[in-house]
Structure 1
């Protein structure tokens, strides 16, 4: 059996790698082709081209690269047809992957198409599910409340859990060693700075996050900052942080990132999947995000929910403070960080929300990657 996988960003790379591991456990001898990042490559994928070419989002960000992306869409679709897999599995990045699926379906209507990560139609643009159903047969959902939305649009859908609940975490010993290795005392506050995994996010949020942390450092002179990053933006992060008044500790290796998450007292993070990673490590957080003026105003007019932070949504609380769009200001972010450092009640509320989130996402159960692989195999068998 051969599968063609398409992932377009770091979070999709994690999902794809977990799925690949699950497939190898359930279907020995399975082969993979497609587009992915370092984690999927470690599972045996030879990427058609560097995944980082697809890590753009927002109208203003995509337009300058439109012709290149259009060429990659056609190239990827042709590769799917040439490979003739048992199924095409597209992973998140809908602006790219669903265009690939549309070209593939037009040429091969019988080919099973599976999309990993349900569109957040409960948040905005509810019509996306019906549009997706034109080219996708089956959906793997990360959140427990999503399957009914997909089924109503005409697709089959399984809740497979979120891979974050099965990812390895650093021990208390590894966290202590991280602090010791970087000369961080037990009483020194350590803050994670997580401005995103895309160039546009890092360029936009990095300076604001730095200013917020500088304000916090004025109150906490011993404050240390660690900035985990990913391959696609590592060089940008390192170049940018050399201009920061107090350079953070930049880490890229997975083991160092896990240790940093466990060692940190709190985090300042861009909105996205990282909030679940922080919840898994029970690290209190403040979420902030902004986009270009045009992108933000389009999204804001379409939003149907009052929070975009996944921990808030899954736990059905509003324990995690967030600063979005015009609210993404260093002074406001700093005040929220100070409150989190100084208020045991605020930290307790977050811990309770994080515990509930992880329980609802499947912590302690079968690994989501294995559940996803089982769902993929069942979907292929149904078509057969």
Structure 2
């Protein structure tokens, strides 16, 4: 293709915005005048993307009740987006970045209308909801995979795919500079630091932040000098501050805007909600306790469709419980605190245990580290030239 293409993208939530921003870097290297538009966030708009709707309009939590509450608005956005993309100035390519519940159906209709479609981030059919593979086959001309085992799995179902690495593995250094991160946060080299990451969505905070903060209060009883830091998206900062007051942590817990990577680089251990952030913590080689809680109906539905014993990405990729997972009813403040205290004790009494975890996470980092923007752009170029 000689002329720069017109490419539509949809990215939901903070993680999708990050992935799409890196993808746009690769596309702009291929086609400096590429035009991109659709649904996206600030990292995308920084790269010249035209956001018709902000990505947070697609953010939901859970599988049933939370989705139903916003379903009508989300479906309306998808109808309006489809009409716009099938209008006179239609794109040459549509890229759905994650958000499979929104994107796969949209991709199916666009592909049927003659627009080539790419899905970036293979839905986790290897973990749960395997029936999605048929929907992927109908929806996608090509899938960009972020985990190395996925292309062969998709090929077995007749779906073209490429492994492009996980973008975070290139963004996060193999050897994070903890000293610089601590200096940036005003911490001392010998401080004991607990990072608390209760998620970036409002419903996540509603379900898991209070047990996390209650656990932190219990940890502080045994470690009164410990520093506790919460990286927060601006929209949730006031709510987190209120919860900190309710849990008696107002004077001892520091809430910072953004800076999740700096906080993870600086900490000794993190108490973290299941999701992409757990992979970030693994790439920073940090011990962690994974916790999660959702609406009981959502939990029951998810359990029925779960294919693996692990939920946290580090454990799934290592195929082992290398870090503890405390989910739903097991995510009590007492259990969360005990797991954090266990890691803190290991730091003082079992350095070999932490070294083994770091080695495992380093191997994982190497396996995921590729030139993702370039590989993704090459796959897209081949598709457009076909």
Residue in structure 2 matched with residue 69 of structure 1 by the alignment: 74
Q: Is the 8 A contact 1:228 1:251 kept in 2?
A: yes
Q: Is the 8 A contact 2:61 2:204 kept in 1?
A: no
The change in CA–CA distance for 1:72 and 1:235 in structure 2 (over 3 A counts) is: farther
Distance apart, 1:155 and its partner CA: 1.7
Residue in structure 2 matched with residue 31 of structure 1 by the alignment: 35
The partner residue of 1:284 within 282, 287, 302 is 287
Are residues 1:222 and 2:225 paired?
yes
Q: Deviations over 1:193-230 (max 9, x none)?
A: 11111111111000010011111011100111111122
CA distance in 2, matches of 1:79, 1:232: 29
Residue in structure 2 matched with residue 353 of structure 1 by the alignment: 360
TM-score (norm 1): 0.92
Q: How does 1:1-384 map to 2 (within 5 A)?
A: 1-58=5-62, 59-82=64-87, 83-106=89-112, 108=113, 110-168=114-172, 171-179=177-185, 181=186, 184-247=187-250, 248-253=253-258, 256-343=259-346, 344=350, 345-362=352-369, 366-382=370-386
- 3-state SS of 1:140 partner: strand
The change in CA–CA distance for 1:237 and 1:377 in structure 2 (over 3 A counts) is: farther
Q: Is the 8 A contact 1:52 1:232 kept in 2?
A: no
- 3-state SS of 1:304 partner: coil
Aligned CA RMSD, in angstroms, stands at 1.8
CA distance in 2, matches of 1:147, 1:116: 12
CA distance in 1, matches of 2:314, 2:205: 22
Distance apart, 1:79 and its partner CA: 2.4
Q: Is the 8 A contact 1:315 1:356 kept in 2?
A: no
Q: Is the 8 A contact 1:5 1:88 kept in 2?
A: yes
Distance apart, 1:338 and its partner CA: 0.8
Q: Is the 8 A contact 1:77 1:101 kept in 2?
A: no
Q: Deviations over 1:130-174 (max 9, x none)?
A: 122112111011111111222223220001100111115563442
The change in CA–CA distance for 1:240 and 1:335 in structure 2 (over 3 A counts) is: closer
Unaligned runs of 5+ in 1: none
CA distance in 2, matches of 1:204, 1:95: 22
Unaligned runs of 5+ in 2: none
